[in-house]
Structure 1
Amino acid sequence: MPDTETVTTADVLPPAEAASNAADVLPDPAAASSAAGAAPRRRPALSPSRASDFKQCPLLYRFRAVDRLPEVPTKAQLRGTLVHSVLERLFALPAADRLPPRAKELLAPAWTELSADRPEWTELFEGEDTADWLASAEKLIDSYFGLEDPRRLEPEACELHVEIELGSGVLLRGYVDRVDVAPTGEIRVVDYKTGAAPREIGEAKAMFQMKFYAVVLWRLRGVVPRQLKLMYLTDGQSLAYTPDEAELLRFERTLEAIWQAILKAGRTGDFRPNPGKLCNWCDHQAHCPEFGGTPPPYPGWPEPGAGEETPLDRAD
């Protein structure tokens, strides 16, 4: 679907609700763009990270997707982003060159490029030598090579942008770390995990993400992925899962229900906090009622684009 496609309320709400809520749910991006003399904006979409945010805590979704409050990345997040970038670059090399020393040679130039695009990331290292941090990234690279030999693989795509509109009108959008396609046509979806979230929580979020990608690829290609593979680079372990069509149908309905719940909250601004284990890692405690904070005034449903993921979202 073209990124410039415009949207009406009827595209994302059942007909009865679309008529009554057209004025207060979604702005008209075509009209706004015309008035500003700009190209039409991208329509709202659901990404795996933002869907996971809403499941975890609707108020967190609001802070990230609607208010777009700034968050300070951790060095671990930046390291994950860097390692993802290096693995993407590794598969762009000839197969014979995909060796650990060559991968490690890619770390410094990849960081130079990433930090040039986002100079605020370098502020985390102000006055510090990044040598130890880069060395910790090398350990993740070594862990990756302990899980598979990239010389024996020819992925169809790395960091693949995917987008599909479901029959219900929900637009799904995201980035897949890697897609492998066998000569027989079987699809494997691969995701690298470098974070240190509590395993039980992190694994549940990771599998939610993988099923999201499986639904998108199934609807795009008409083939249920044969395998969803998570590669945990911190501890050198992998987890493989085989979905089936019935399961993906159920998961598709879950995504549709999440989107409808987001739209319902978006009409009123009623994004409620849901305290849990991950609150201790939240950047927005100062604005959260659970911690004595006050959310900023609700700005209304955002301009199209609330489903976008950042490189940090994808780093995990």
Structure 2
Amino acid sequence: MSPSRASDFKQCPLLYRFRAVDRIPEAPSKAQVRGTVVHAALESLFALPRADRVPERARELVEPAWERLLESSPELADLVGPAERGQFLTEARRLVSGYYKLEDPTRFDPESCELRVETELDDGVLLRGFVDRIDVSPTGLLRVVDYKTGRAPWEMGESKALFQMKFYALVLMRTRGIVPAQLQLLYLGDSQALTYQPEEDELRRFERTLSAIWRAILDSGATGDFRPNPGRLCDWCNHKTRCPAFGGTPPPYPGWPVPAEESSEFEETVE
């Protein structure tokens, strides 16, 4: 279970089914692809020596990140055509520049970037995800950092973002035996930061929450009963036309899937 799939089930069990069980392809939006490019540019930035991590160099990393993404996903050329390329890259560079209003990357070295983390809970639930960045202080304190290329959220969006960060904090607590001192979300769209300090008891409760979500998923998987949960986010859902809440018909239930990688390079970059 990844944080994105757990959030999907909390938001709408039918959305979880479409994504994790039916595995219906979803074309990424320009905002998601731009977010992926910005993440890749920032990852490349921290691979440079400290003295080279200046804003001008960071902006120069955007276009190569886009070219690498095109090589791996050539279909994205249809999403961002030649006429749109300049504006697309300009906006990505603006977001990278916005990062410098929040931090000075010449002053520290992260422990890791784009780190895959994974752990199995006591009841067998397998958790996995990718952390944008982990910083470790000289005294051993852990900071978990996630970049968002949108603007800082309203209250409901903040709760969703912290759900993702607590997920990572729990995995790190179980794998490293230490509670992260700080969870930090950096919103590059408006150069705002959201900082949170988790506690061990809180993460233990969160662990029970994730186990309960997984039990609910398994119950739905056994019966095929993944019910829609209509809300304000439905207008942006790729699956609205096949949702019974809006007069659509889901495809026949294919049965519980074999294990597969749950994450996508276009997920969790914008919110």
Whether these two folds match at TM > 0.5 is: yes
Contact 1:104 1:141 in 2 (8 A): yes
Contact 1:67 1:299 in 2 (8 A): yes
In the TM superposition, 1:225-304 aligns within 5 A as 225-304=180-259
- Does structure 1 residue 182 correspond to structure 2 residue 130? no
Contact 2:114 2:131 in 1 (8 A): yes
Per-residue CA shift, 1:16-73, capped at 9, x if unaligned? xxxxxxxxxxxxxxxxxxxxxxxxxxxxxx0000000000000000000111111121
- Does structure 1 residue 310 correspond to structure 2 residue 238? no
Equivalent residue number for residue 91 of structure 2 = 136
In the TM superposition, 1:67-106 aligns within 5 A as 67-106=22-61
C-alpha distance in 2, partners of 1:310/1:110?
17
- Percent identity reads 64
Per-residue CA shift, 1:188-229, capped at 9, x if unaligned? 000011135963332221100000000000000000000000
| Residue-pair matches, total | 270
Residue 312 of structure 1 aligns with an amino acid whose one-letter code is F
Unpaired runs of at least 5, structure 1: 1-45
Per-residue CA shift, 1:91-148, capped at 9, x if unaligned? 0000100011101111111100011101122211235231011111111111101100
1:168 CA displacement: 1.1
Equivalent residue number for residue 172 of structure 2 = 217
1:248 CA displacement: 0.3
Equivalent residue number for residue 13 of structure 1 = none
Contact 1:191 1:229 in 2 (8 A): yes
SS in 1 for 2:206: helix
1:180 CA displacement: 0.3
Contact 1:159 1:177 in 2 (8 A): yes
Taking only aligned residues, the RMSD between alpha carbons, in angstroms, comes to: 1.2
Equivalent residue number for residue 208 of structure 1 = 163
| Structure possessing the higher radius of gyration over alpha carbons | 1
C-alpha distance in 2, partners of 1:199/1:114?
31
Q: 1:124 aligns with which of 73, 79, 82?
A: 79
C-alpha distance in 2, partners of 1:72/1:195?
19
SS in 1 for 2:129: strand
